[in-house]
Amino acid sequence: MHFIPAVSLIGEPTLQHWCLSFVEGKLLLPADEARLLAPLPLQSWHHEADARHYLGRLDGLDCWALRLSAAPEGWRPVPLRAAMMGFPEALAGLASRAAQVLDWDRTHRHCGVCGTATEQQAGERARRCPACGHSAYPRISPAMMALVWRPGQLLLARAPHFVNQMYSALAGFVEAGESLEACIHREVAEEVGVQVDQLRYYGSQSWPFPNSLMVAFTARWAGGDIVPQASEIEDAQWFDIDNLPNIPPRFSISGHLIRDTVSAMRQQPA
């Protein structure tokens, strides 16, 4: 599935459309659970939506993000995370984009400088204040993820809110004036009390809960004993790569990062 992002219609409207519709933050899926989300002709509620944003084209079909006040007949609201786990990568990315655009639109109806009602701008994803000229764009919050390793082992941690006794890589938001590398050194030291070196970029993932960009690295343990940060980390341990705890699914970049790092470590000569 190939996606072309856009702010306004690309040529003539297509006959069928992908509509990513939300009610109170939940994505609408067909009420019949045997049916999948699929392109459809525009429904009547498309034009009655509280908010409507064009996203671009997926496999040549127009895509829309809609916010509705209630679910139309034949549709059910589903938590976004659960819905995305069942989508192919391109459609999950489109749902992520739709959720973030709608959240930006909802939270920037008034100017953060002077309080005047803002206006949506043509040709760009922005809301502008007609009084003071301040423009607000969709917010993106960069966050680092670091998978700390040493020969044969990974350092994994769990936060109090993790479900199913799941352990994952360390993560934290980048602070103002901080590079990704500096953030990794700071967060790892704060969360588990160890030092790292040999940072290696792995990949990134848009994470719409609510507007993060997860940037993942591996980092070699360079010293220090694990001391979990009491307010953030419930438990942190070294795990042998052949005896890992419950880890995130491949739906999230952490699931890819851990599994791919284990595969690479197993291929290294002893």
* Secondary structure of 123-134 as H, E, C letters: CCCCEECCCCCC
Total count of domains within the chain: 2
Output the CA–CA distances (angstroms, integers) from residue 131 to 56, 111, 116, in the order listed.
Answer: 30, 9, 7
Better-scored residue on pLDDT, 1 or 158? 158
Whichever domain contains 63, its CATH number is: 3.90.79.20
Lowest-pLDDT choice from 45-49, 113-117, 227-231, 257-261? 45-49
| CA-based nearest residue to 145, from 204, 63, 91, 72 | 204
Tell me, yes or no, whether 238 lies in a domain: yes
Tell me, yes or no, whether 7 lies in a domain: yes
Whichever domain contains 157, its CATH number is: 3.90.79.10
Q: For residue 122, how far is the Cα from the chain centroid?
A: 26
| Residues 100 and 191 grouped into a single domain | no
33: pLDDT confidence band, cut at 50, 70 and 90?
confident
**Domain finish residue from 84, 107, 130:** 107
Q: Is the pTM of this model over 0.85?
A: yes
| Residues 260 and 151 grouped into a single domain | yes
Residue 54 scores a pLDDT above 90: yes
Listed in sequence order, the DSSP H helices in 86-241 are: 89-107, 180-192
Tell me, yes or no, whether 84 lies in a domain: yes
**Mean predicted confidence (pLDDT) in 22-42:** 92
- Read off the DSSP letter of residue 108: T
* Tokens, residue 85: 């786990």
In the prediction, which pLDDT does 270 show?
Answer: 59
Which domain range does residue 62 map to? 3-107
| Residues 152 and 222 grouped into a single domain | yes
**Domain finish residue from 53, 82, 107:** 107
Mean pLDDT of the chain: 94
| Residues 39 and 145 grouped into a single domain | no
In the prediction, which pLDDT does 201 show?
Answer: 98
In the prediction, which pLDDT does 163 show?
Answer: 83
| Residues 16 and 60 grouped into a single domain | yes
Length of the chain: 270
**Domain finish residue from 55, 83, 107:** 107
Residue 42 scores a pLDDT above 90: no
**Mean predicted confidence (pLDDT) in 89-103:** 95
In the prediction, which pLDDT does 210 show?
Answer: 84
Nearest-angstrom CA–CA distance, 8 and 125: 9
**Residue 254, φ and ψ in degrees, nearest 5:** -65, -35
| Residues 31 and 84 grouped into a single domain | yes
- Please name the residue that has the structure tokens 């976004």: 80
User: Which SS3 state, helix, strand or coil, does residue 55 take?
Assistant: strand
Tell me, yes or no, whether 112 lies in a domain: no
Tell me, yes or no, whether 56 lies in a domain: yes
Lowest-pLDDT choice from 62-71, 116-125, 147-156, 261-270? 261-270
